[in-house]
Amino acid sequence: MNPPQGEGDEAPHHQSFGLKTFLSPLGILYRLWTMSIRFQYRDEDGRAEFQKITEPVTVMLWHNRLFLAGEWHQRFRKGKRLYGLISGSRDGAWLETFYKWAAIRAIRGSRNRRGAQATRDLIRKVKDGHDAGITPDGSRGPKYEAKAGGLFVARASRSPVALVSFSYGRAIRLKSWDEFVIPLPFSRVRLRTRILPNEELFKDSDLNKATQQVQEYLMEMTDD
């Protein structure tokens, strides 16, 4: 069936079945790689506080920490699904493939106008009892500069914000805009978390002020 006029141009890009099959060995390697990581997570780094949270949360971490996001969630948020918003662009199709390897469920926007609807879909997932994952510096940066739009999901869903950061013993840094970090297999990674209750973060209903606060807290947790 052909889509209505104009709708086909809005549909997000997806990788072909053949390409996904070709890339599947990389997915297996990625899973084995992340499973080999040894997390160090202490009460003073937020573990005691984090273990008390049973409700859905909006997870926020810098874009260059995404490599371990799915593995972290599977280990420390058992029973919860993690959803992330991805653009409908061709680049978004590659990220969707990475998300599947990481056990993160993707919500895709369109190539042009479906961003608002995709955001509403993500908010609905949180209200249904799942977690949302957000990179506040976006997919293009600037690095470590939080944008107000990243907190919209948390405010609309009234969910606590879980800040997450990883510190690496041995890692590779790519020459990308965010210096994306890939920890070496079997290396130790220090995990830090911090819970920001929704009613405290948005007590003044000022999204810009809340965004600045998130940026400051995340930078305190970042040892670059």
pLDDT tens-digit readout, 43-58 = 999 999 999 999 999 9
Q: Residue 100: its pLDDT value, please? A: 87
Q: Which domain holds residue 147?
A: 15-220
The answer to whether residue 7 is domain-embedded is: no
For the chain, the domain total comes to: 1
Report CA-CA distances (Å) from 36 to 10, 20, 72, 88, 184: 40, 24, 12, 32, 9
| % pLDDT > 70, the chain | 83
Any domain includes 108:
yes
In a domain, 9, yes or no: no
Residue 210, domain member (yes or no): yes
What average pLDDT does the segment 163-178 reach? 96
Model pLDDT, residue 196: 97
Instruction: Compute the mean pLDDT over every residue in the chain, rounded to the nearest whole number.
Output: 88
For residues 27 and 173, the model is more confident at 173
Q: Is residue 4 one of the residues assigned to a domain?
A: no
**C-alpha separations of 166 from 78, 93, 104, 117, 218 in Å:** 19, 26, 18, 31, 11
- Please check the confidence at residue 139 and state whether its pLDDT lies above 90: no
In a domain, 3, yes or no: no
Residue 2 maps to a domain: no
Answer whether residue 72 shows pLDDT above 80.
Answer: yes
